Amino acid sequence: MLSRSPSGRGSCGDRCNVPRIHDPALVRPVLQRDPAWSLYALADLSPEHSAHAEWYAPDNAGRCAVLLYRGFGFSIFLDSGDFDAVRETIAELKDERNFYLSIRQPTLELLRQAGFHIAKPKRMLRMRLDVQRFEPLSSAAIRLAPTDLAQLKALYADGEPRGESPEFFLDSMLNTGVYYAVQTHDGLAAAAGTHVCAPEEDVAGVGNIYTRRDLRRCGYARQATTGVLNELVGCGIGVICLNVAVENTGAIALYRSLGFDVHSEYVEGEAIRE
């Protein structure tokens, strides 16, 4: 989903001049124009995430929806809708000093024009599964339960020395999401799951995919991811996406072989007010 956390925090709340939108009925239609891009924002409408979500727009006309999500202890900025309206919204977020970004490419320049320095922007791809053509595949992966949390965290800790472990995994994701793993005699070989899973919004974001360093190139990540996809498609979720860095050609090839296509390119990074 995201690759790192920002160095500080900011909170705008209701002190901004730009109106804060409290009614999901005003936000949802904007997000549904491009549900694959707005997948995470749509999921944040669900009760599980809505307490951490703040929505902003210059008016109630439904031109855009800017989300500041604070569930990780800092602000994550996501944008949807008309870019002129996004520009107006950014101009009024005067109390925000910095936030992590998951934005469309044109929004990068809008933030720079508003006086933000963008630290280490990273090119990312949003890939979407073609659920109409997806055929369930056999997999040796097992469904993880909340009681498997220690094993899953031990697997992810394997990547910490090289900064490869999933940074945006919360323990609660195992309770509310869909997680599969390949088990070996000495622990988990690989795992995959969902960052968000909101059937009521018809969306799921696949992520937290990791293979133990000594067991790579054995097909374990494919099996774990296949287990997740089998369940999500079987539940009838229509918009299933994942994120991957542009330069990660090996992962992109894997995801294409599972039925994903590139939906759009976008940018992650940190915005710091200069």
**Which CATH number covers residue 26?**
3.40.630
Domain range spanning residue 165? 132-237
Residue 74: inside a domain: yes
User: How does strand 239-245 pair with strand 203-211?
Assistant: parallel
Instruction: State the virtual CA torsion across 251, 253, 258, 264 in degrees, nearest 10.
Output: 80
Three-state DSSP state, 179:
coil
Res. 7 pLDDT band, cuts 50 70 90: very low
Residue 157: inside a domain: yes
Res. 18 pLDDT band, cuts 50 70 90: low
Are 71 and 162 part of one and the same domain? no
**Which CATH number covers residue 186?**
3.40.630.30
224: its two tokens: 């774990």
Specify the pLDDT at position 168: 82
Are 60 and 137 part of one and the same domain? no
Residue 114: inside a domain: yes
Are 117 and 212 part of one and the same domain? no
Q: CA 204, 132, 177 angle in degrees (round to 5)? A: 20
pLDDT tops 60 at residue 105: yes
Over the chain, what HEC string results?
Answer: CCCCCCCCCCCCHHHCCCCEECCHHHHHHHHCCCCCCCHHHHHCCCHHHHCCEEEECCCCCCCEEEEEECCCCCCEEEEEECHHHHHHHHHHCCCCCEEEEEEEHHHHHHHHHCCEEEEEEEEEEEEEECCCCCCCCCCCCEECCHHHHHHHHHHHHCCHHHCCCCCCCCHHHHHHCCCEEEEECCEEEEEEEEEEEEHHHCEEEEEEEEECHHHCCCCHHHHHHHHHHHHHHHCCCCEEEEEEECCCHHHHHHHHHCCEEEEEEEEEEEEEEC
Are 115 and 141 part of one and the same domain? no
pLDDT tens digits along 205-238? 999 999 999 999 999 999 999 999 999 999 999 9
Specify the pLDDT at position 139: 87
Are 166 and 215 part of one and the same domain? yes
What is the strand order of the sheet 203-211 is part of?
Answer: 20-21, 53-56, 64-69, 76-81, 98-104, 260-273, 116-129, 239-245, 203-211, 187-198, 180-184, 142-143
Are 44 and 143 part of one and the same domain? no
Count: domains in the chain: 2
pLDDT tops 60 at residue 118: yes
Are 85 and 114 part of one and the same domain? yes
What is this structure's pTM? 0.90
* Mean pLDDT, rounded, for 8-19: 49
Specify the pLDDT at position 3: 38
Residue 250: inside a domain: no
What phi-psi label fits residue 164: left (phi over 0), alpha (psi between -120 and 50 degrees) or beta? alpha
With a CB cutoff of 8 Å and minimum separation 6, the contacts of 239 are: 35, 36, 39, 128, 202, 203, 204
Residue 227: inside a domain: yes
Are 80 and 167 part of one and the same domain? no
CB neighbour class for 3 (10 Å; exposed up to 12, middle 13-18, buried from 19):
middle
Are 155 and 115 part of one and the same domain? no
Per-chain mean pLDDT for the chain: 91
d(CA 208, CA 192): 6
Residue 247: inside a domain: no
Res. 19 pLDDT band, cuts 50 70 90: confident
Residue 249: inside a domain: no
Are 17 and 120 part of one and the same domain? yes
Specify the pLDDT at position 4: 39
Specify the pLDDT at position 37: 98
Are 166 and 78 part of one and the same domain? no
Query: Measured in whole angstroms, how far is the alpha carbon of residue 206 from the centre of its chain?
Result: 8
* Mean pLDDT, rounded, for 152-180: 93
Res. 136 pLDDT band, cuts 50 70 90: confident
Residue 204: inside a domain: yes
Are 229 and 149 part of one and the same domain? yes
